[in-house]
Structure 1
Amino acid sequence: MANPLSADALVAALRREGVTVVEHDGWRTHNRDTKGAWGPVNGVVVHHTVTSGTDSSVALCYDGRSDLPGPLCHGVIAKDGTVHLVGNGRANHAGAGDPDVLAAVVAERATLPAPRQNTTDGNTHFYGFECVNMGDGKDPWPEAQLDAIARASAAICRAHGWHAASVIGHKEWTDSKIDPVGFTMASMRARVAARLAQNPAPAATATSGTTAAPPAKPAKPAYQPFPGAAWFKAAPNSALVTAMGRRLVAEGCSAYKQGPGPQWTEADRDSYARWQRKLGYSGTDADGWPGSASWTALKVPYTG
């Protein structure tokens, strides 16, 4: 729970996270604050637009519709990863949702309850990003766009001291929506967690109506880079396995009866599966074989 970021603070947070920002005319005072409260804020809701094309999608989210005035979000995330800021304050994006979901977000629980009631005003409590996509399961999600969603969400979480569990999909807030379609929110939260485990990347300043220069290349990572899934499946004997195991123990995800040690075993895999579930993964996404996003979030110390 926190007071909303000011316009300047939001822009600064996004740029610190390496986000390319476009500020649209009037966005800093464009809101629905006269229609209800804005804040305290508790999290971020991710949407898809059910539109194509950046310009038309941004215009729709800025102006709204006859039955739903704009802004329809705070930022529109284009397929090229650019974040277009269209609103600051209360926005018509989340609508009514489940108070139990809100309580879970406030507590930053790894598992959300299924939404069953639409009795709580989400526009008071959530920042919203509309992401340009038709939402038909066929329209692709470019890596640049997925990365920008994670960066924008992480920027807000970092600014408020929140964890990745504060980022939810619209369909997780209310049973009346299906967005986003095309990626899982568990995978997006893992991306956000991975971003939050790193220092934010610097980015050049963008002026109103223009995009920022590409972010500077990050310095040498403080933690061990992901060695690849095949490396683990070859049952390695390495100090890196020990370092990973110690991090899993520290995160409360131990399935070890002894150790951890340098030889990869089923105990390592079982422990890593617990870590994946802690991040919000389920099913085959929590099978114990490390992936890039979950590995980055684990912050295994560099072993050389």
Structure 2
Amino acid sequence: MARPISASTMVEILRAEGLTVHEVRDWRTHNRNSKGPWGPVNGVMIHHTVTSGTARSVDIGYDGYAGLPGPLCHGVIDKRGHVHLVGNGRANHAGLGDGDVLRAVINETTLPPDNEADTDGNRHFYGFECVNLGDGRDPWPEAQKEAIEKVAAAICRHHGWSERSVIGHKEWQPGTTDPRGFTMDGMRGRIRDRLRGGGGGGGGTKPAPPKPSYEPFPGSAFFHPGQRSPIITAMGRRLVAEGCGRYENGPGPEWTDADRRSYAAWQHKLGYRGKDADGIPGRSSWEKLKVPDVRD
């Protein structure tokens, strides 16, 4: 859970990932925010356009069509692997989907079947349309698949998410089939490898990653029963990554005993004992945990 990325930061992180980015018309102020909330954001959703041709696909992504005004996504990824940014804010791409899927994305757990349409996805997901007819025959060039991987990894890295925060439209909304032509499990594997520093499946020289920004220590008093913050979610995900997770469900935004036990395991891992390993974060252990900045 996090605040949406600003337009300037979106351009910065995508280019830092090695992507060619095109800014389309007035994309920085082009959105559907007047029709509903935008954020908190929880994940990245991948689609195919059911169109051919870059220019036509980008225009539809920006303008929409009769009955469904644009933007229809935040970016269009063409077959060359270029990213065309067409919207910044709420976009008409996800529609209503399964609230159980959203909870799994937030908790970064296995996705359940999408058998309901009870939750507004346009509020919670960045959306990227990929130029492809979606007929199972139109090819997916490696440059395009690598761009999907890079886009998703850049956003996940910024928010401190793992590859489990990336889903396909077909995993969200009953009856949808996009993206068709590659598996989302395979794409998540590529994203996971990139986030771990191994690059993806595309080869070539991997650009230097953007300089990470970490959440400053909020003070020990911040961590108390009833406290809710995306900082706690980000902390929990780092604890899981360090092998210290003691969660049956989550991590989530509310401070719980599972967070305390997980943090105590981290303190023990660092060599702290006694009252120094009581599960309440201190400055030294917090700075060593390197919790991603969630304030943007």
How many residues align? The count is: 208
Against the structure 1 CA distance between its residues 81 and 34, is the aligned structure 2 distance closer, same or farther, given a 3 Å change threshold? Answer: same
Query: What corresponds to 2:171 in structure 1?
Result: 172
Query: What corresponds to 2:95 in structure 1?
Result: 95
Shift of 1:158: 0.5
SS of equivalent to 1:124: coil
SS of equivalent to 2:123: helix
CA distance in 2, matches of 1:83, 1:28: 14
Contact persistence 2:27–2:88 (CA under 8 A): yes
Query: What corresponds to 2:5 in structure 1?
Result: 5
Contact persistence 1:2–1:160 (CA under 8 A): yes
Letter in 2 for 1:167: V
Contact persistence 1:80–1:142 (CA under 8 A): yes
SS of equivalent to 1:15: helix
Matches within 5 A, 1:230-269: none
CA distance in 2, matches of 1:134, 1:46: 14
SS of equivalent to 2:122: helix
CA distance in 2, matches of 1:91, 1:42: 15
Query: What corresponds to 1:18 in structure 2?
Result: 18
Contact persistence 2:163–2:188 (CA under 8 A): yes
Against the structure 1 CA distance between its residues 160 and 218, is the aligned structure 2 distance closer, same or farther, given a 3 Å change threshold? Answer: closer
Query: What corresponds to 1:153 in structure 2?
Result: 152
Q: What is the CA RMSD across the aligned residues, in angstroms?
A: 1.9
Contact persistence 2:18–2:207 (CA under 8 A): no
Query: What corresponds to 2:286 in structure 1?
Result: none
Against the structure 1 CA distance between its residues 142 and 200, is the aligned structure 2 distance closer, same or farther, given a 3 Å change threshold? Answer: closer
Deviates more, 1:190-199 or 1:119-128: 190-199
SS of equivalent to 2:149: helix
Question: Which blocks of at least 5 consecutive residues in structure 2 are unaligned?
Answer: 209-241, 245-296
Shift of 1:176: 2.2
SS of equivalent to 2:59: helix
Contact persistence 1:16–1:200 (CA under 8 A): no
Shift of 1:218: 5.0
Shift of 1:89: 0.2
Query: What corresponds to 2:162 in structure 1?
Result: 163
Against the structure 1 CA distance between its residues 128 and 168, is the aligned structure 2 distance closer, same or farther, given a 3 Å change threshold? Answer: same
CA distance in 1, matches of 2:62, 2:138: 23
Matches within 5 A, 1:74-153: 74-109=74-109, 111-153=110-152
Once the two structures are superposed, residues 18-53 of structure 1 have per-residue CA deviations (whole angstroms, 9 ceiling, x without a partner) of 111001110000000000000000000000000000
CA distance in 2, matches of 1:30, 1:174: 24
SS of equivalent to 1:123: coil
Letter in 2 for 1:165: R
Contact persistence 1:17–1:200 (CA under 8 A): no
CA distance in 1, matches of 2:243, 2:159: 22
Shift of 1:199: 7.9
Letter in 1 for 2:156: C
CA distance in 2, matches of 1:138, 1:251: 42
Question: Which blocks of at least 5 consecutive residues in structure 1 are unaligned?
Answer: 202-214, 220-249, 253-304
User: After TM superposition, where is structure 1 displaced by more than 4 Å over at least 4 residues in a row?
Assistant: 215-219
Shift of 1:132: 0.1
Shift of 1:217: 5.5
Once the two structures are superposed, residues 68-95 of structure 1 have per-residue CA deviations (whole angstroms, 9 ceiling, x without a partner) of 0000000000000000000000000000
Shift of 1:194: 1.0
Against the structure 1 CA distance between its residues 156 and 218, is the aligned structure 2 distance closer, same or farther, given a 3 Å change threshold? Answer: closer
Letter in 2 for 1:63: D
